[in-house]
Structure formats: C-alpha cells, structure tokens
Structure 1
Amino acid sequence: MAEYEVIADQDAAAAAASRLAAGTGPVAVDVERASGFRYSQRAYLIQVYRRGSEAFLFDPPAIGDLSALQAAIGDEEWVLHAASQDLPSLREAGLEPPRIFDTELAARLLGHERVGLGAVVEQTLGISLAKAHSAADWSTRPLPQGWLEYAALDVLHLIDVRDALAAELEEQGKTAFAEEEFEAVRTRAPKPPREEPWRRLSGLHTVRGRRALAVARALWAAREDFAREEDVSPGRLVPDRSLVAAVIADPVSKQDLARVKDFTGRASRSQLDRWWAAIEAGRNDPALPPERGTGDGMPPPRAWVDRNPAADARLKAARPVVEARAEELRMPTENLLTPDLLRRVAWSPPAEIDAASVGEALRELGARSWQVEQTAQVIAAAFVDSVQTPDEASEPAS
C-alpha cells in the first residue's frame, strides 16, 4: 500500500494543484468531516484524484486558502459520491464545482439495491473497499497512515466508477434524467434554519406543559451556544436524554440538579452553572412555546381521511400509480418523485386537474422537468379517478 502525506501548507498545496491541472478528464473529490465529534461540518480532509496525476490529501484548516486548487480544477467535472453531503463543506473551504457527477445518485437512478460507496465500487469494478474509518474523528492530528490509505481509496476508483455508471445510464436511457438531478444537487440552496430546532430533542415527547417546554428550549439553546464555542458535537457535551431528564426532574436548586442521576455527559457537572442559569431562564421566560410545533400547515396523511377526505382520496389513488411508474423505470419511488411533493400536490391540487396543470404545480414545488414528464399524466389521471362516484368507477369503458 502506498504511503500518503497530508498536504498542510500553501506551497505544497500549490504544487499539488499544478500536478492536478496537468492531469486529464474529470476530477474525483471526497471530503472527510468530524461529524458526531465537532459542532461544525467543516472539511478536515479533502481528497482529490485525476487521471494522469495521483491522489492528493489536503488539510483545509492548516492550508487556509485553497484558491490554487480551485483554479486548477475549477473548470472540470467533479465526481463525488453523495454530493449533497460534501458540497456545503467544500463551499465553506472555497471550492465550487462547475458541474458534477454524483455516483450515489446515479446508482439510485439505475435501481441499484445498495448505493454506498463500497457497494457501488464492488458492483461496478469488482473491487472491495474497507470502510473501517468512515465514522472516525477526522479532526485528529496527526492522522494515522491507515486512515490516509482509506481516504485515498475513496477517490482512486471514483473516475472508473463514474465511467461505468455513465455507460449504464446511457443504456437505460437515463442520461438526461441524471444530468438534471446532478445540476439540481449542485445548485440547491441551503435549507433555511428550522423555526424551532429545539423540538428535535430526542425524548421531548415525554415533557408535559408549556413551562417545562420553555425550560427544555433554554437548555437546548445553552448547549448549542457552548457546543459552538467549543466546536464539539452537542450530544458529546450533554446527551439529549440528559437534558430531558433534567427538565422532568424539575430540580429546586443547582445542587438538586447535580444530584439528578440521569443528567450525564462530560459537561454536565463542569458547566453546572450554565445549565442552572438556563433552567432559571426557561422558568422565567414570558414567551411560552405552544404544546405542539407549528409545522407546515399540512397534517400527517393518517389524519387526512378526517381533515380533508378529498385529498386523502387523491393521495391514495396517486401513490400506487407513481410507485408503478418508478418500478417500470427501475428506480426508487423517492427518486422519481419524493413523497413530500406528491403529498403537497394532493393536498392542494390545481383548480383544473389535467396533466399540464399538475405538471406546473409539481414544477412550482421543485420537481425537475424529467420528473414532471414521467409523473404528471398518471397523477392527473389518478386524481380524476379519485372523485368518481362508485357507480361511475364501476361502469365499463366504452
């Protein structure tokens, strides 16, 4: 196995970028973060490979300015696996692809049962990759040589995988589908922040009362602030279950909080003043949160039969025909059309239901052109069928 060195200064980064610029064809790119260890989603290692060159491992925090790398590969197609996960970290490091090929998304569109990188490499090239370090803390320094070998392998085979999948897309007539999907991933705007992110606390459903919810909200915010300051994953400071345990225990003093057995975590006692101040702030907050989150105004489908029977009938009629179309195309239903899009157009359909109006509604909700072409007609027909009377539905076609 080759020995790999981490590029950790501007001069070495410029030299590597020059060698990559002299290579040919697409550029394989991968990112290693420290998810679950750090608060941020910054890249702690960026691997880059191009034919005619070699695999280079860049240390973004140490290098700082990666403009030489951007200049070297910024006009080429970048090949990534699960690009939506890596693009935010790459952009934070100042790296922006002009176009991409996403091997995971391609595998999904082709109907591959397993779409992890190791599985796709094995399916297309017959090569087995060890995934021993996928959940490692990549902020570790120095990085062990075994980790570096693993990281390099993530890009060394990616161009060959890309070529194999591109040929398969062409065979199945899905090249245009894939190109639209790749561009949608590349240009997708970041998700707006959640209105009430604290409601994602695991176990919050066991908390009763608006005042107790205000305490939970304050504890969550205090943990977020401290996690951001320390660049540590919040759950490593105090787990969700411990925050909820503190709320339910309803301690009468800081000392009482310290005695809560289930209030654990490495910062549970060292930052006791912080947590107690949050509890007091929550207890004195005049702006009490509602018992339930505001949501997006659309109830869960199980409630539709009572809340909006017509929408329930539309969804139940359309879902199986979309699933059947996905099966015909040999791809997962969620890649043909996400369940959320189908639910939204079923809940609020256009005034006049036909393929054109349903297609326009889907586009406004974010569906790509190829998805509209493949689904609008069958969805419109299903919506029309859903409003037939029992007698009409049983009449034989003339």
Structure 2
Amino acid sequence: MSPGPAKGGNEESTTAPLPLLSEPVEGVPEVITRESELIECADAIASGFGPVALDAERASGYRYGQAAYLVQLRREGAGTWLIDPVFLPDMEPLDQAIGTGEWILHAATQDLTCLREVGLVPRQIFDTELGARLLGLPRVGLASVIEHYLGISLAKEHSAVDWSTRPLPEPWLRYAALDVEVLTEVRNLMGADLAAQDKSEWARQEFASLLDWRPVQRQDPWRRTSGLHKIRQPRVLATVRELWWERDRIARDRDTSPGRVIPDTVLVDIAQAAPAAPGDLPRGHRAIQRNQRAWLAAVERARDLSDDELPPATVKSDGPPPQRSWANRDPLAAERLTATRAALTFFADERTIPIENVCSPDPLRRVVWRPPTERSVEGFEAALAERGVRPWQQEIVAPLLVAAFEDHPDA
C-alpha cells in the first residue's frame, strides 16, 4: 500500500499541518445552464482521455427526495465542468460522450440514483471509497483518502449546505470543483495498491456489482420513524403510520425534507396524544399548529380503521431469528456461526480488510441457519451466490463453512 504522508521530527515535535487543496488548478469553472454549453462540454469530454471523475451535490435535509442540484466532472484533456441539472435535466449528450469510459466516484451508491435521473448511466465504475475499504484504510471519507494518498488536505466545510440555492455562491462552486480535482490521481495510486495486495479482482467484481445497484424500496418506510420502538399498541402504530404518510405528502407538495415539516419525535408525540380537537394537540412546536388540520385528519383516519386494518407491532422476517437467541434455539447452528466468524475475522485481519467486506452478516447467517443439502465447497458457494455474495467472497467463505460444519457435525 502506498504510504501516507511522512511524519518528520522526533516524538516531541508537532506534526506540521498538511497543505490545503484550496483552489482548482484551472480556476473555478462557470456553471453550465444552457443546452449549447452542454454540447460544448460533451465534445470536450469526448476528446479527453482516461477515466472520468464525477460527483453530484444534493440538497439532503432541505428538499424532498435525493435529486442532484449540481453535477461535477473532470477528465484529462478536457478539464473540469460544473453542470446545473435544474436547467439541464437531460444530460444524454454527455452520457454518449463518456460512452464506455470508466467513471470514478467516491461512495458511488450515494450518487448513482440521482445521476441516472439526469440521464447519466455508467458502464464501468471505480469507487474510491469502496477501494479504500478493500485496502483496509482506517478512514474512507474522501478527505481522508486524499490525505492518505496525496498528503494534502481537502476542505469539506460546504458538504451539508442547501445545494438547491440559486445562484450558487462561488465558495461552494470551488468546493464542488475540488471534489473531482484529484480523483483520477487517487484512483491510479489506489489501483496500484489493490494490485500489490492481490485485491484487483476483488475490486473488479465489487465495482461491477455497482452497475446494477438500486436503492432498496422499503415496504413500510414509516417503521423507521425515530422513537417508534416505544410504541406497542396497534392503534397508536396506525396513527404514526397515517401521520407519517401525511407528512410525506406535505413535504412532497412543498418540495422540502420531511424532517423540516415536523420532526419524528413530534410525530410520535401527536400519535400518543391521540387528539380529537385542536386543543388536544401537543404544544411547543410551530409545525403542529401550522398543519393542525392535516394532523387531526390523519389521527381521525387511524381512529376509523377496523382492528383487522391495524399494523402489527413487528413485521415477521423471512430470515433467521436474532443471533442472541441461537444458543437456545439451535446450539449447533450457533457453534457453526461462531466458528465461521472466528475464521473470517482471522482472514480479514491477515488481509487487512473489514470482515463485513469479506461477507455481509445477513447472507452468512442465512446460510448457516438453513444450510444447503450438499455441504461441500460447491454447495456452499451456490447457497452464498443465491444470496448475492460475489464469487471472490464465495471462494473465501465456502471453505470456512465446510470446516465449521465438519468441526460441528450433526448429532
């Protein structure tokens, strides 16, 4: 692995601050807002060479949904470009210009959906955050990865701002341009490290899996409401559900983050109060009064539901029971899982990789709880494959499962 920034001096000396990456080499580009400018950008990108570094800025916590409000890209020979998706929601000309070229993204799953929404679809991906995890770097944020490889500091003071603001302030645009300024250099150094650690094939399979990645659509998203664990009564749960959907409707109509309409904690307070009139609503939050008719209507809808229409306190899972109960319910399965995890931990420590990147906990638990009929390497590889485990992971985990089952055979 390439070394991080050198530390000079003796133990008593103070480490000098790292140089700050504060200005794009070619300056801050103008934001593209017209179709003719997009065509010019596409022509430049097409005439460039090498991979294309991309990033997108969203207005999470400010707007409804996860739409992109700025797209940044850079390619050798083409320079850095900033594009406004508000004015240019269809970037197909740029997608055609990139073609089968490799994308460099950091934490790709954060941006892939919003980039697809504007017509940008990758054919190859190199994810520097995922690569950093495979290499076992202690910190995998973009600033930390840049610091590790280039010995420079990247300012992140504008990462949580409202990117739907127009016009975008110049310091924000500088920050956005810097996010793609050195990604290609980092990618090349990281690629060399992956090869040196014999992890290139691991990375290739992980990056390829991102091409088909889609966010999980939750069946009952309201169940993620903070504080819901305190509620067990079905009628109150139904009230939370109705209030959650009402808040979502208000947020969508206003194009604002649901949490800015009313926080989860206040939503739960309303449900527990079960108000029948404005005077029964909890006090102390302006959003309650602002939308009191909507909240009361939601509570009324929950009150009118029949018992058969009330949600259960918990949703039955199709997976194995919680691991804490395995020792009582199936001691043999518990021993096999413990043995496999111990072997995985040893492997992960030896190869400097987080254990969850070798195999996620969920597919491992499922295979141990309901093992295949054929308990050979091939049998376990097939069972792991059915649960989305990549081939490189199967090759590591399947033999460990065989050994655990042989050491803890059926009675």
- TM-score category (smaller protein): over 0.9
Of Structure 1 and Structure 2, the greater helix share is in: 1
- Partner residue of 1:74 out of 99, 103, 113: 99
In 2, distance between residues paired with 1:352 and 1:243? 50
What are the ranges of 5 or more consecutive residues in structure 2 without an aligned counterpart?
1-22
Superposition deviation, residue 155 in structure 1: 0.4
- Secondary structure at the aligned position of 1:213 is classed as helix
> Which residue of structure 2 lines up, in the alignment, with residue 3 of structure 1?
28
In 2, distance between residues paired with 1:222 and 1:386? 52
Superposition deviation, residue 323 in structure 1: 1.3
Matches of residues 158-173 of structure 1 in structure 2 within 5 Å? 158-173=183-198
Share of identical aligned residues, percent?
48
> Which residue of structure 2 lines up, in the alignment, with residue 242 of structure 1?
266
Contact 1:325 1:375 in 2 (8 A): no
Matches of residues 290-305 of structure 1 in structure 2 within 5 Å? 290-305=312-327
> Which residue of structure 1 lines up, in the alignment, with residue 250 of structure 2?
226
Letter in 2 for 1:135: A
Structure 2 residue 353 is the aligned partner of structure 1 residue 331: yes
Superposition deviation, residue 374 in structure 1: 1.4
> Which residue of structure 2 lines up, in the alignment, with residue 272 of structure 1?
292
> Which residue of structure 2 lines up, in the alignment, with residue 394 of structure 1?
none
Structure 2 residue 304 is the aligned partner of structure 1 residue 284: yes
Letter in 2 for 1:230: R
In 1, distance between residues paired with 2:319 and 2:104? 38
Deviating above 3 A after TM superposition, structure 1's stretches of 4 or more consecutive aligned residues are none
In 1, distance between residues paired with 2:338 and 2:191? 35
> Which residue of structure 2 lines up, in the alignment, with residue 395 of structure 1?
none
| C-alpha distance after superposition, 1:182-237 (max 9, x if no partner) | 0011222442x222211111001222311111111110111111112222111110
> Which residue of structure 2 lines up, in the alignment, with residue 210 of structure 1?
234
Letter in 1 for 2:117: E
Superposition deviation, residue 89 in structure 1: 0.8
Contact 1:48 1:57 in 2 (8 A): yes
Contact 2:385 2:394 in 1 (8 A): yes
Contact 1:4 1:145 in 2 (8 A): no
Matches of residues 336-351 of structure 1 in structure 2 within 5 Å? 336-351=358-373
| C-alpha distance after superposition, 1:237-270 (max 9, x if no partner) | 000000101111222312321xx125x25x3222
> Which residue of structure 2 lines up, in the alignment, with residue 200 of structure 1?
224
> Which residue of structure 1 lines up, in the alignment, with residue 88 of structure 2?
63
In 2, distance between residues paired with 1:344 and 1:135? 38
Structure 2 residue 406 is the aligned partner of structure 1 residue 381: no
Q: 1:224 to 1:307 in 2, by over 3 A?
A: farther
- Partner residue of 1:363 out of 369, 385, 407: 385
| C-alpha distance after superposition, 1:279-300 (max 9, x if no partner) | 0001111201112222334221
Letter in 1 for 2:274: D
In 2, distance between residues paired with 1:249 and 1:154? 47
Root-mean-square deviation over aligned CA pairs: 1.4
Contact 1:207 1:247 in 2 (8 A): no
Letter in 1 for 2:406: V
Q: How many residues matched?
A: 384
In 2, distance between residues paired with 1:208 and 1:364? 35
Superposition deviation, residue 112 in structure 1: 0.7
Which region of structure 1 is more displaced relative to structure 2, 78-87 or 345-354? Answer: 345-354
Superposition deviation, residue 354 in structure 1: 1.9
- Partner residue of 1:52 out of 77, 98, 109: 77
- Partner residue of 2:331 out of 295, 309, 317: 309
In 2, distance between residues paired with 1:360 and 1:274? 51
Contact 2:56 2:111 in 1 (8 A): yes
In 1, distance between residues paired with 2:398 and 2:349? 16
- Secondary structure at the aligned position of 2:62 is classed as coil
> Which residue of structure 1 lines up, in the alignment, with residue 203 of structure 2?
178
Superposition deviation, residue 388 in structure 1: 7.1
What are the ranges of 5 or more consecutive residues in structure 1 without an aligned counterpart?
390-398
- Secondary structure at the aligned position of 2:185 is classed as helix
- Partner residue of 2:136 out of 111, 118, 130: 111
Superposition deviation, residue 366 in structure 1: 0.5
> Which residue of structure 1 lines up, in the alignment, with residue 374 of structure 2?
352
- Partner residue of 1:321 out of 331, 335, 343: 343
In 2, distance between residues paired with 1:135 and 1:111? 27
Contact 1:26 1:78 in 2 (8 A): yes
In 2, distance between residues paired with 1:145 and 1:186? 33
Q: TM-score, normalised on structure 1?
A: 0.93
In 2, distance between residues paired with 1:366 and 1:388? 27
In 2, distance between residues paired with 1:230 and 1:385? 60
In 2, distance between residues paired with 1:218 and 1:296? 26
Letter in 2 for 1:363: A
- Secondary structure at the aligned position of 1:374 is classed as helix
> Which residue of structure 1 lines up, in the alignment, with residue 276 of structure 2?
252
Contact 2:113 2:214 in 1 (8 A): no
